[in-house]
């Protein structure tokens, strides 16, 4: 009887082992079972793109995109746009970063004090009681403290966001950055020193959580995310569209292209018959019918508009800048040719000595 009880205890312990975290710290970190769920996905070639932090009806969410194998730095193979509550996303992101540091043989100290403010916390300032919780920055590209007047952090206080200068710099998420789901250092020593198995090459705390707890980001959600991104002071990627600086230069290049076109057409009217024949011969020699040139130009303009509407920024800048350079070069060529013709005509009229030529 005694041996059967010991055997039963050992069997019970063996069955419980798969549900126990590898380290004591991780077990404490996941005491609510947040990371315990079944995930059979292979994340080795997938990626996640944190887009922005948005607040709706007092709730903060992180909007992100997920990409499968062959995504080419999050440029294609998108599986969808999703949202996850801020607390869950930061927990998963922080745990992923911690594991990546350990894979490199380095230590990563999680700021537990800052992590605590992912939930509503009491905070005394100048003998007044407030409730504080981490929320989204107005730019949508970071986090800041918000003060509330109730214990559930539902009613925003009129007081300043960060009354006592609470440091939450340890809560970091790299927005507008394509992040691989699985870290790979390219070094083999990690397996020897840290006991990592080949399973780590396919598992991802961040992408598993982002996939398991994902909520659909509908059109209204995406619009808020893009709006939050467009208000960012960054000059790079902003939501799905062009940044304010990018939109400014779109207008500048568009207006300059129109100016160079009109200037070139006005200068072309002053072209001599001989130059016009030379230009027409050059066009024919290239195999292009002269009557198709306006259609080609209109098609190019429509193509650039298409690129802008579909937010193909690299191609948009390339064709806009190329168009401006081509129109400017054509205008300058016509202008220089007209000045040369004027100089030759003046020489023939007045001669070398300034008198009228015979």
Q: Provide the β-strand partners of residue 129.
A: 124
C-alpha to C-alpha distance for 332 and 337, rounded to whole angstroms: 8
**140-150 pLDDT per residue, tens:** 899 988 888 89
Residue 286 exposure: Cα atoms within 13 Å on the Cβ side: 11
**Stretch among 91-105, 274-288, 340-354 having the lowest mean pLDDT:** 340-354
C-alpha to C-alpha distance for 123 and 119, rounded to whole angstroms: 12
C-alpha to C-alpha distance for 125 and 131, rounded to whole angstroms: 10
> Mean pLDDT across the chain, nearest whole number?
79
Identify the pLDDT of residue 192. Answer: 42
Tokens describing residue 118: 């992912």
Q: Are 202 and 194 in contact (CB under 8 A)?
A: no
55 three-state secondary structure: strand
Q: Is the pLDDT of residue 102 over 70?
A: yes
**252-283 pLDDT per residue, tens:** 999 999 999 999 888 888 887 777 777 777 77
Q: Are 98 and 108 in contact (CB under 8 A)?
A: yes
Q: Choose among 209, 186, 250: nearest CA to 82.
A: 209
Tokens describing residue 248: 């400014």
**Stretch among 37-51, 143-157, 223-237 having the lowest mean pLDDT:** 223-237
Higher pLDDT, 12 or 248: 248
Tokens describing residue 96: 């992923």
**11-37 pLDDT per residue, tens:** 444 444 333 333 334 444 555 688 888
**53-89 pLDDT per residue, tens:** 999 888 899 999 999 999 989 989 999 999 999 999 9
Range 235-252 average pLDDT: 69
Q: Are 201 and 191 in contact (CB under 8 A)?
A: no
Looking at the whole model, is its pTM more than 0.85?
A: no
* Intra-chain end-to-end CA distance of the chain, in Å: 136
């Amino acid at each position: 009887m005694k041996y059967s009880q010991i055997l039963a205890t050992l069997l019970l312990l063996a069955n419980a082992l798969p549900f126990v975290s590898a380290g004591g710290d991780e077990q404490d970190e996941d005491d609510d079972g947040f990371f315990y769920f079944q995930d059979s996905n292979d994340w080795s070639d997938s990626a996640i793109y944190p887009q922005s932090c948005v607040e709706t009806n007092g709730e903060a969410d992180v909007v992100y995109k997920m990409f499968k194998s062959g995504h080419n730095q999050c440029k294609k193979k998108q599986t969808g746009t999703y949202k996850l509550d801020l607390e869950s996303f930061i927990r998963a992101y922080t745990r992923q970063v911690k594991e990546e540091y350990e894979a490199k043989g380095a230590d990563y100290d999680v700021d537990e004090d800052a992590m605590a403010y992912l939930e509503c916390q009491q905070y005394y300032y100048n003998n007044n009681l407030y409730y504080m919780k981490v929320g989204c920055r107005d730019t949508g590209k970071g986090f800041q403290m918000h003060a509330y007047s109730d214990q559930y952090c539902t009613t925003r206080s009129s007081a300043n966001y960060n009354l006592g200068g609470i440091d939450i710099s340890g809560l970091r998420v790299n927005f507008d950055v394509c992040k691989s789901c699985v870290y790979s250092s390219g070094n083999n020593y990690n397996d020897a020193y840290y006991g990592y198995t080949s399973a780590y090459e396919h598992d991802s705390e961040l992408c598993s959580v982002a996939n398991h707890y994902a909520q659909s980001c509908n059109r209204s959600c995406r619009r808020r995310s893009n709006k939050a991104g467009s208000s960012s002071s960054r000059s790079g990627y902003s939501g799905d569209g062009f940044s304010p600086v990018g939109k400014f230069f779109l207008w500048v290049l568009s207006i300059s292209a129109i100016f160079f076109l009109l200037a070139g057409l006005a200068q072309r009217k002053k072209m001599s018959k001989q130059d016009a024949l030379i230009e027409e011969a050059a066009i024919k020699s290239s195999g292009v019918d002269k009557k198709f040139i306006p259609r080609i130009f209109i098609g190019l303009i429509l193509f650039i508009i298409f690129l802008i509407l579909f937010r193909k920024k690299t191609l948009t800048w390339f064709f806009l800048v190329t168009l401006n350079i081509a129109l400017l070069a054509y205008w300058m060529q016509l202008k220089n040719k007209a000045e040369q013709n004027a100089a030759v005509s003046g020489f023939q009229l007045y001669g070398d000595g300034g008198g009228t030529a015979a």
